[in-house]
Structure 1
Amino acid sequence: MTGRLTHIVRHPIKSIGHEDIDSAPLHQGRVLPFDRVWAVSHQAAKFDSPLRDWARKSNFLRGVAAPQLMAVTAQMQADGQITLRHPDRAALTCDPDRAEDQARLIDWLRPLWPETRPAPRAVERVDGVALSDMAEPYVSLLSLASLEALGQAAGRQISRHRFRGNLWVEGWAPWAERDLPGKRLRIGAAVLEVAMPITRCRATCTDPATGTEDLEMLELLERLNGDWHFGCYATVIEGGTITLGDPVEVL
């Protein structure tokens, strides 16, 4: 079962923007570089800011609580700043590590976050720790054929950005990735071991182009496969550079 790597996606600020890139160095036991480096905590977070260790996703701003966040895109600049764009907001370029830019980022996010939810509080970062949904340093792996099958069942084209994945593969049979947990893959110069399926939440019900819910994704997944799984988590066990077009081989 050999496929081809077609998309590499990172999300520098958790739940706030996605960015496609052409190549990345993977390191043993680490996430995709610059993926979920920062996150924005809210006033009901169960830790004192600044954050000192990984914390559960419920402590942060997320697309499941604010569908408008799903429409944000990100672009990292050469100087380390990040430009965020949203169809209803003027673009913002900021350095999430600078206090003055953190305040600007929170102000930029306020109109996209429901007033009924605890307000955005602070930009968090923990050196060497990805603020992903899982504490383990996973890279997510998804299939374009499965996405196409999902779209056919829904009767519409479905954006891959609903799923906030890292690595997208074409050339596999639809749903073949569901048999991958426990197996190893070679992608470019790196080797990954597939750990477990990804259980999805209602954030996937939102169209990333508009930031509005338009599809009962969880019902669709359950009807097709009997669960809410889409994609897999994998661990990097041998580091190396990956590049668009690399073969993805099951070892």
Structure 2
Amino acid sequence: MSAQVAHLVRHPVKSAGYEMLPAARLTAGAAFPFDRLWAVAHAAARLPDPLAWAPKLQFLRGWASPALMAISCKSDTEAGRITLSHPQRPTESFRPDDPADAARLIDWLCPLWPENRPEPARVIRVPGQALTDQSEPLISINSTASLAELSERMGLALSPHRFRGNIWVEGWAPLAELGLIGREITIGTAVLRVEAPIGRCRATGADPQTGVQDADTLAALETAYGHHDFGVFARVIRSGDVALGDGVTA
């Protein structure tokens, strides 16, 4: 199968903002660059000591607050600065590694988090470890054809940002990516091994433009395919560059 890169996306703060890119450098054995570099732990979180990767239940996440899904991001990687926007919040810039800015970031997020849940409490970063939902350094790959087919079934134009993917591929048949488990694929000049399907959660039901839960994507996936899988996880096994329009060969 041959195809091309349609979108490249990263999420510097876990569950708090998506950012589209023209290109990226993938490194063998590493997650997508600048993706889930930070996460915001809530007040009831039980984090390891010394600090290390922790399961998603310890952090703010779109499953618990659809409003978070409407955050967009622009980042300056050299300065370690992010700028967050949301339809209900003022656009502001933060350097999450700075304690004062981390406190401001928590204050900015608080109105988007349910009052009946433990409040946002701490911005964390683990050097060399992406704070993704899995501890392994995997990259998420999705298909625009799969998204289009699911959209048609649901009668709703679904945004790719519902699914928080890193690489979106155009040109595959719908759900063909689920047949690539165990195979190597070339994207740009990088080589990745597809390792597992991505099981989806309720966060995908929120509209990234509004932060409102407006679709039952899980029920649609179950009805159409008998499972909740959408997209695949892959491991970078040879470093390389990827850019919009680059070829994808499986």
Q: TM-score, normalised by structure 2?
A: 0.98
3-state DSSP class of the match of 1:207? coil
Deviation at 1:51, TM superposition (A): 6.3
Deviation at 1:80, TM superposition (A): 2.5
Name the counterpart of 2:204: 204
Root mean square deviation of aligned Cα: 1.0
In 2, Cα distance between the equivalents of 1:109 and 1:172? 37
Q: Which amino acid aligns with 2:219?
A: E
Once the two structures are superposed, the pairs formed by residues 91-110 of structure 1 within 5 Å of their partners are 91-110=91-110
Q: Which amino acid aligns with 1:26?
A: L
3-state DSSP class of the match of 2:17? coil
Q: Are residues 1:60 and 2:59 paired? A: yes
Paired-residue identity, %: 51
Displacement over 3 Å in runs of 4+? none
Deviation at 1:178, TM superposition (A): 1.2
In 2, Cα distance between the equivalents of 1:177 and 1:126? 31
Once the two structures are superposed, the pairs formed by residues 167-206 of structure 1 within 5 Å of their partners are 167-206=167-206
In 2, Cα distance between the equivalents of 1:142 and 1:191? 16
3-state DSSP class of the match of 2:156? coil
3-state DSSP class of the match of 1:213? coil
In 2, Cα distance between the equivalents of 1:223 and 1:85? 35
In 2, Cα distance between the equivalents of 1:38 and 1:45? 15
Q: Are residues 1:115 and 2:132 paired? A: no
Name the counterpart of 1:46: 46
Name the counterpart of 1:236: 236
In 2, Cα distance between the equivalents of 1:17 and 1:179? 30
In 1, Cα distance between the equivalents of 2:106 and 2:29? 31
In 1, Cα distance between the equivalents of 2:160 and 2:180? 20
Name the counterpart of 1:138: 138
8 Å contact kept, 1:51–1:124: no
Name the counterpart of 1:72: 71
Q: Any stretches of 5+ residues in structure 2 without a counterpart?
A: none
In 1, Cα distance between the equivalents of 2:107 and 2:95? 14
8 Å contact kept, 2:43–2:120: yes
Q: How many residues align?
A: 249
